[in-house]
A and B are shown apart, each in its own frame.
Chain A
Amino acid sequence: MSIQLKRREAVQNDEVARYERMIEIREFEEQINGLFATGAIRGTTHLCLGQEALAVGLAAELRPSDIVMATYRGHGIALALGLSPESVLGEIMGKTIGCCGGVGGSMHLCDMDLGLLPTSAIVGGGIPIAAGAALAFQTQGKDGVAVSVFGDGASNIGAFHEGLNLAAIWNLPVIFICDNNIYGEYSRINTTTPLLDLHERAESYKMPHFAIDGMDVKAVQKGVAEAVNRARSGGGPTLIEAKTYRFAGHSRADQALYRPEGELEMWQKRDPIKVTEEDLLSRGLLTADRIAQIKSDMSTTIEGVVATCQASGEPTLASMFQNIWTPKGAINK
């Protein structure tokens, strides 16, 4: 079994491993801004600080043969599904060690062995694609499930409505997860959207829907499991709204100065890492010492990942010309 699949298996089987993966994502994301400052990262990135529980809870409930179509805010989901930190950070740094060999960047992470389609940098763009992956499962008679994760802003774009409608009429094994972090880019949801409970939009498509606490990995797992069971057993699509909060701005350039005073602090009380820590402590699965150790070890690990990625080579000029068309005789994986 590959290291990636072992990483996946860990979050599927072990709740302490899920906690550790959330710590990994947090440590990872916290390195990004510093790497920008040194010039090691260019362009932009979209951090998922505060949204670790959704990523890990989702990965825990899916098989590697299921399909996930995520977005440009995808570092956490990639790590949760099992991509190595080196392959994710390497890609963000544009190095050969990256999962896409450095031609993709932060917004385009992929590993088909783990079911991660190339993350899309187009708001809503992945929604019909996930429906299509589900269409393939259905037509082939497989029990696979496709998942599309997207933000609250995507619920206002045509692809959302067209994709949900198509999935509903064809009863496709697909789960739509709206990661409602309250802001679409720099705009608060109440200024862009006439309802706050976005899962209610599924009513128009006669699709089962519900909200989950996206700050609690166990709540995420429970909701995803329900939708997975429905999809796998031929019951069709579900719209899940995960109530989350983005601790950082939309992207690298955004200081998030538009947030009302106290809002961030209010959500930080529900920091998914804290929520899980309290749960694991209360059930005696972790001790304060062990938590400190995990955090300290992870910090060291991520420092090592940064060093490895910095040492990785730059892509060759020839790599720019590769993988545009499929070579004759190649077989679609």
Chain B
Amino acid sequence: MSTSSVMRFRQAIVAALADEMRADSSVMLFGEDVAEAEGPFKTSEGLLKEFGPLRVRDTPISEMAFTGAAVGAAIMGMKPVVEIMFMEFLGVALDQLVTEAAKMRYLSNGVISVPMVVRASCGSGLGFGSQHSQTLENWVAATPGLKVVCPSDAQAAYSLMRAAIQDSDPVMVLEPRILYAERGTVDTSHRIEIGKARVLRVGSEVTVVSLGQMVNVSRAAIELAGVDAELIDLATVVPWDRETVLESVKKTGRLIVVEEAPQSGGWGSEIVASVTSNLFGTLKGAPFRITTPDVPVPYSGVLEAKFVPTVEDVARQLKESIASGTTPKSWWELEGLK
């Protein structure tokens, strides 16, 4: 049955968790304050009440233990979802995800699957400072055996969460924290496959590839710039949808990646490299990235607002690059701050 309703991004996550837990008794949820307190961002509201303390559990502040426990439980037939309150906290549990979970299938000659989901809130914009505001996709982007998704709206939050739980392999779901309160229409019958990008706007002049909270920024920038851009929400970072991106750039001849991550070492570099290598002779301009500067996330509201790619700055770079065919300078280069 298809039902559409308007809900907040965080409520879409709750709905997806609840629907999966109803459909499959092996799905369980654990993490810090996810049960009694219903999640610090209210992403597990009502779940303890409906599914009970065996399947919805509070853990100690022990990311290494509960991420590892998810690995063991997943191998033995459960489908655990664990919540890492802030993406940075995955640092102390990275071994379990990258070195254990992602290798189990390889090291068991294909006998073991690890159907676990690691959810983590991420990203800047809420004044949490430099240790609670990073996106850190690159921590998990170079690990064969792991899948990484990042929803940009309530629909994607619902559909990608369900796809992640249904997946037989470990999936990392990066949840842009700033989007939790955003409202959107969610059709619970709508599926988004892991590995499939979403073309959110069809256009002919330039392809804009974006992810997470940068999708809204990119959409607004396209409107502000008045360019006929094709907007792609990458949605899955690993394995990313080469086909959709390459097809789009074949058509538009231009690529801009808008990315909430430091300029060096981001996922967008992979997109730019791939497009450049595959379509070099057909391009109308050099593909480029609009990123944050190579600095930690600053706390001050004034600085944090400028740190992340803004609608105005993305619009400027869209217009400039199409008009001149050259790569625009970043705002910090223009300010002489590099």
Contact = CB atoms under 8 A, between A and B. Distances in A.
A, B assembled together? yes
Interface of A: 67, 69, 99-101, 103-104, 108, 110, 112, 117-118, 120, 122, 125-140, 144, 146, 158-159, 162-163, 165-166, 169-170, 322-326, 330, 332-333
B95 A112 contact: no
A129 B62 CA distance: 13
Contacts of B57: 170
Interface string B301-332: 00000000000000000000000000000000
Contact of B68 (A99, A103, A128, A139): A128
B106 A163 contact: no
B66 interface: yes
A163 B145 contact: no
Nearest to A332: B113
B112 A128 contact: no
Contacts of B105: 323-326
26 contacts: A101-B109, A104-B106, A112-B111, A112-B112, A117-B72, A117-B108, A117-B112, A118-B112, A128-B66, A129-B69, A129-B71, A129-B72, A131-B72, A132-B69, A132-B73, A133-B72, A135-B78, A140-B78, A169-B60, A323-B109, A324-B145, A326-B113, A330-B113, A330-B168, A332-B77, A333-B112
A159 B69 contact: no
Interface in B160-202: 168-169
Chain B, interface size category, equals 35 or more
Contacts of A163: 64-65, 68-69
A104 to B, nearest CB: 5
Contacts of A134: 72
Given A103-B106, A132-B75, 13 more contacts: A110-B108, A112-B112, A120-B100, A125-B68, A125-B95, A128-B64, A128-B69, A128-B96, A135-B72, A136-B77, A163-B64, A323-B109, A326-B115
A163 B71 CA distance: 13
Interface of B: 26, 28, 54-55, 57, 59-60, 62, 64-78, 80, 92, 95-96, 99-100, 103-113, 115, 144-145, 147, 168-169
Contacts of B69: 128-129, 131-132, 135, 163, 166
Contacts of B103: 118
Q: Which 8 A-B pairs have the closest CB atoms?
A: A132-B72, A128-B68, A162-B65, A132-B69, A136-B76, A326-B168, A323-B110, A118-B107
A109 to B, nearest CB: 9
A117 B103 CA distance: 12
Nearest to B55: A139
Contact of A129 (B100, B111, B144, B169): B100
Contacts of B64: 128, 158-159, 162-163
